[in-house]
C-alpha cells in the first residue's frame, strides 16, 4: 500500500461534551472519531446513506482500542484524524487520534466490518472503496 493519507477534521468541545468539571466525557471521544470517519468517507465521494442505498451494506464497529493520554477541555479546538492501517476482505482497520495543536490527547485503533443490511453478516468491502483507499 502507498503512503497512507491522514484525514483530519476540526472539532470544538462544547459544554454538552463535558462533565461537570469541564473535561470531555470519555465516551464522547468515540463520537468525535465517528464524525471524523464519516467526513473522511465523504472525501472519497461516499456517505453512509449512499453506501446503504448503492451497495446494501454498512460499516459497523467490531472493536476499538482507545488510549486516553491527556484530557480535552471545554472550548478546546481539536483535530480528529482517521487513516487506514489495513483492509481485509470485509474488515477495515483505522488509526485515529484526537489532538489539541501538537498535543496528542487520545489515540485509537478501530476495527470496522462491512456487513449486509439484509443479514448483518460480513460481506466484502466494495471494490470501488478498496481501490480509492489504496491510492
Q: What is the set of active-site residues?
A: 19
Q: How far apart are the first and last CA of the chain?
A: 8
Grid coordinates in use for 124?
466484502
What cell was used for 118? 439484509
Considering just the CA atoms, what is the radius of gyration of the chain in Å? 16
Alpha helices in the chain (DSSP H): 28-42, 48-55, 127-134
Four-residue CA torsion sign, 100, 102, 103, 106: positive
Amino acid at each position: 500500500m502507498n503512503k497512507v493519507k491522514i484525514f483530519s477534521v476540526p472539532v470544538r468541545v462544547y459544554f454538552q461534551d463535558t462533565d461537570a468539571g469541564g473535561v470531555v466525557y470519555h465516551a464522547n471521544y468515540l463520537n468525535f472519531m465517528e464524525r471524523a470517519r464519516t467526513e473522511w468517507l465523504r472525501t472519497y465521494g461516499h456517505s453512509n446513506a449512499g453506501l446503504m442505498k448503492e451497495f446494501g451494506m454498512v460499516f459497523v464497529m467490531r472493536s476499538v482500542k482507545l488510549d486516553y493520554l491527556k484530557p480535552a477541555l471545554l472550548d478546546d479546538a481539536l483535530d480528529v484524524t482517521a487513516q487506514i492501517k489495513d483492509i481485509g476482505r470485509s474488515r477495515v482497520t483505522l488509526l485515529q487520534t484526537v489532538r489539541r495543536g501538537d498535543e496528542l490527547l487520545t489515540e485509537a485503533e478501530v476495527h470496522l466490518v462491512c456487513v449486509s443490511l439484509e443479514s448483518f453478516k460480513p460481506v466484502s468491502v466494495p471494490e470501488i472503496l478498496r481501490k480509492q483507499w489504496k491510492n
